[in-house]
Amino acid sequence: MPTGIPDALRQAEAAREAGADVAVIFPPEALGGGNANTDAAVRMYERLARELQMPLSHFQFPIASGFGLSTEVMAKVAQIPEVIALKEGSATLLAYDENRRAVKAAAPDTAILPSNFHWFFAQVALGGDGILSGLASLTPGLLKDLWEASEAMDLAAMREANDRLYPVIRAIYGPAPVIDMHTRMKDGLQMLGVIENSAPRLPLLPQSNEVVEGVRRALIAAGMLK
């Protein structure tokens, strides 16, 4: 999440030098709490596009967070040629559908990528161009199965993938505080043998034995761990 244009440029350049093909832009602090319905975000993306000359993706936060863009502004941002995708994390299904329809009407080639873990099933049922979520680090195959089933209009396969995802989603995102979701994903990745150490950096703390055991049971229920 950049503090402003200079910080966004610095982070994007660093990501590109490290091999990134696309820069996912989080809402900057300066736009929090009052600019969702102004063209401030449009001007910001135009500047970033002009200076970076690389593909960009906007990360849509819920309006209630103080950082989300209005549907009208999102549609304008989507029309900037360098903006190739929107990571859609609106907090209601209605907002997702309104944003999806408006963006596709204004910029049909801009990808809408559902990211709200509470209703992946419902989002892809309405329509989406993929799924962009941190959970993909832990359950890439299940998210792929869900999206491909939605593209095939296969309701039974969608339900099957969603039923396998459900326990993992609840184990990762259910316990408070939700900010610990990343640590729980790391716990799961350690169980799967993907990483050796799941310890987070301060100020985040290791999860309780109860939470870690919940992640383990969820992976077993999803058929990912024996």
Q: With helix as H, strand as E and coil as C, how does 145-202 read?
A: HHHHHHHCCCHHHHHHHHHHHHHHHHHHHCCCCHHHHHHHHHHHHHHCCCCCCCCCCC
- pLDDT value at residue 1: 56
The pLDDT value recorded for residue 149 is 97
Tell me, yes or no, whether 166 and 120 share the same domain: no
What are the CA-CA distances from residue 27 to residues 35, 64, 117, 185 (Å)?
A: 11, 13, 19, 24
Specify if 145 maps to a domain: no
Is residue 148 included in any domain, yes or no? no
Q: Is the peptide bond before 177 cis (omega within 30 degrees of 0)?
A: yes
Q: What is the pLDDT of residues 45-70, one digit of tens each?
A: 999 999 999 999 999 998 788 888 99
State pLDDT tens for residues 171-205.
999 999 999 999 999 999 999 999 999 999 999 99
Radius of gyration of the chain (CA): 18
Q: What is the mean pLDDT of residues 120-135?
A: 95
**Number of domain units in the chain:** 2
Do 184 and 216 share a domain, yes or no? Answer: yes
pLDDT band for 34, please (50, 70, 90 cuts): low
Q: Are residues 185 and 127 in the same domain?
A: no
Query: Which residue segment(s) compose the domain that 107 sits in?
Result: 1-132
Residue 144 covered by a domain? no
Residues 22, 78 share a domain: yes
Rounded to 5°, the CA angle 61-98-101 comes to: 115
Picking from 35-44, 138-147, 158-167, 184-193, which range would have the lowest pLDDT averaged per residue? 35-44
